[in-house]
Amino acid sequence: MSTFKITVAYDGTDFVGWQRQASGISIQSLLEGALRDLDQRDVSVAGAGRTDAGVHALGQVASFSLQRSIEPTVLTRALNARLPSAVRVVDAERAADTFHARFDAICKIYRYRIWNAEVLSPFERAYAWHVRGPLDAGAMHDAAALIAGRRDFAAFQAAGSSTTSTQRELFSSLVLRQAQHERGGSTLALSLSKGESLIVYDVAGSGFLRHMIRNIVGSLVEIGRGRRPVEWMTQVLEGRARALAGPTAPPHGLVLMAVAYGLQSP
């Protein structure tokens, strides 16, 4: 048996999310179907992040074991030949037998994209939340900085969720307009469109609660619209109640950009 680590990119528009469901097509089920055909047996695939329906990925990571002897480059081609064009394996490598895409991850990096203009670019309609009316990106940036660090994010968890602990650590949390983002030289650029209509929220953390990022973004937009002061983000955190936070931002603006691993993984 050989263990593999693959990096997967997908347009989540037409899928029910990463995790296999009783109905609907998931990214996990597509990969397992392709691997079943390739290895002539059922293969279980573990993903680093369980992206929701409509959420996209550029750097999702998955792991699995195969009985068949196959080179990583051949595996990449074989999987892509069996997957729909909206899902691509962009890299494959052999991993230690103990490697697990989810449990070995030390950092996940997400981006949420907001198109802030009266008219939505047709090239952004499936990949950004269209918010009309001016947004104060500076205030949003200041509010996002207030939630960095290890904190209790119960207020930003999806209503009705049952989680053992709502403590999570955010290594970075920042909001920038696209023009500022490009001047900063970030390697996480994801846009065919230029100018200041695009606002991005970049967040890196050890892990995230269900709908946590989308609930944070919904709250940041309330601040950007001037409906709430910057300090309100701290009050929401301290209140630990979902009802105190802003609305849930739509899924199609969210992208899993990358997953980082420690020295123990290849």
Would you name the residues annotated as active-site residues? Answer: 52
Kindly state the tokens that stand for 173: 């949390």
Beta strands in 103-197 (DSSP E): 105-115, 129-130, 149-152, 167-177
> Pick from 54, 59, 50: which is nearest to 207 by CA?
50
Which DSSP category does 158 fall into? P
**201: which residues sit within 8 A by CB, 6+ positions away?**
111, 112, 114, 140, 144, 173, 174, 175, 213, 216, 217, 220
What phi-psi label fits residue 195: left (phi over 0), alpha (psi between -120 and 50 degrees) or beta?
Answer: left
CA dihedral 157, 159, 165, 167 (to 10 degrees): 20
Phi-psi map region of 28: left, alpha, beta (phi>0 left; psi -120 to 50 alpha):
alpha
Residues 6+ apart with CB under 8 A from 169: 149, 150, 151, 205, 206
